[in-house]
Structure 1
């Protein structure tokens, strides 16, 4: 190690994280995501039926704690993964930032990559608050939760190219979104333009997801990006569907005449 390198001991638990065991576990168990999705579907449809004739619950304090905990997790994740991505971009360029698999093995990013994919299971709990509080549950919300969980677990096991961009963007948008919802749940007045900003960021994330998928496919042909055709197809279809749905949500919520007061989409 030369004088310019940072001692791994400074990273503590992140550097000690055994990413190889995590990847092996995911390779053997990624299909368990379907079990979570099945239970989640029961919550979505069975829960709404259960609450149909019952009084809605307030749950304001638990919602504040839930949203705040996910906001803190996302902020830290965005900072840690963002730092890695900025380092790769500045030192090796854009192409390497997409194709390099180092995101899954870096002394800091390796822990947050695994924490990211695992977090997609508990994040399904967002919907429980919507169901129990008898709020409007849109298709985009539960469709997004299911597909992100499945794709994240499916992709992590193969450490495919593009993961660094996908995860860092998601962490960053979540940092904004969950902070916004924690503030709203706490009864704070949040400027309306912030909701527009969050949905715009979500749309930008989806557009970038489509672009990254296309670039991975292009550079995979020359052997520069490690991925698989089926993974790229699923990623492109998933992000394209999100792009359409989020754009439609943006129009219906912020642009259409007679639309209700702006509210960020709690789906990403």
Structure 2
């Protein structure tokens, strides 16, 4: 971080801090990520081999039900995501309210205090979330490109970005925690055969699409800020990767939204 930039601001005052949040040593994990962030590529290769190899194996086998396991898996991620959203959203709101929008996307003070722990948890959770696809493979459900492409690119980008302490990660983290809080809760309820209105599914996809639009907007704002010669903690290289990633997500989620909710049923049947 540029030492000439004032990053003091007005930090969010958490009324309560858990022991693990108070004693989290962010610098230790940061050093680990600098040395090992490329492990994300290894995890991605193993992931691709397992899911596509698993699909070939499952072609000759009956599908597994796994409802109980899926409910536990999704329920765990739902609770985790809710906790992450509850603990990180207040800091984002405070950073905007007390210091302004530009501060919130350009100064990475969220790597201090409570949110530093949840930034760490957010980063490592991207490896854990790869397990989502195992259920799709074993239950012989449709594996779309958007699903596995999203998992791989998010994992690699998040691990790569952590080493630079990129400032817009504050926004990306909070948005992801929030969307996943709703999404995994929905998955857990479906696995438990609890009736959920179909509109909720559409709401989740809409939230995901808005997340991608917001990611593109933030990247555009940062590009303009940096072109003015003002400080913003994100390299042009990282900004390029982030823009490519979010724009590709926007296209894919928009296509998915259209096919899922806007295409006439008779056209769907024809497809």
- Does TM, scored on the shorter chain, surpass 0.5? yes
Alignment of 1:18-33 (within 5 A): 18-33=25-40
CA RMSD of aligned residues (A): 1.8
Q: 1:104 aligns with which of 100, 106, 111?
A: 111
In structure 2, the residue matched to 1:170 is: 176
1:68-109, Cα deviation, whole Å (9 max, x unpaired)? 00000000001111011011111111111111110112x110
In structure 1, the residue matched to 2:221 is: 215
Change (3 A) 1:211 1:25: same
Q: Contact conserved, 1:63 with 1:185, CA < 8 A, in 2? A: yes
In the alignment, structure 1 residue 194 sits paired with structure 2 residue 205 = no
Q: Which runs of 5+ in 1 are unaligned?
A: 262-268
Report how far residue 12 of structure 1 moved.
Answer: 2.1
Number of residue pairs the alignment of both structures matches: 257
Equivalents in 2 of 1:94, 1:10: separation in Å?
26
Q: 2:142 aligns with which of 136, 141, 151?
A: 136
Give structure 1 regions of 4+ aligned residues with deviation exceeding 6 angstroms: none
1:187-218, Cα deviation, whole Å (9 max, x unpaired)? 01100111111000000000011111111222
Equivalents in 1 of 2:35, 2:120: separation in Å?
15
Equivalents in 1 of 2:89, 2:214: separation in Å?
15
Change (3 A) 1:9 1:200: closer
Equivalents in 2 of 1:208, 1:255: separation in Å?
22
Equivalents in 1 of 2:14, 2:212: separation in Å?
36
Q: Which runs of 5+ in 2 are unaligned?
A: 1-10
Equivalents in 1 of 2:226, 2:108: separation in Å?
13
In the alignment, structure 1 residue 15 sits paired with structure 2 residue 22 = yes
Q: Contact conserved, 1:206 with 1:240, CA < 8 A, in 2? A: yes
Q: 2:51 aligns with which of 44, 49, 68?
A: 44
Q: Contact conserved, 2:26 with 2:117, CA < 8 A, in 1? A: yes
| TM-score with structure 1 setting the length | 0.92
In the alignment, structure 1 residue 244 sits paired with structure 2 residue 251 = yes
Equivalents in 2 of 1:41, 1:154: separation in Å?
19
| TM-score with structure 2 setting the length | 0.91
In structure 1, the residue matched to 2:164 is: 158
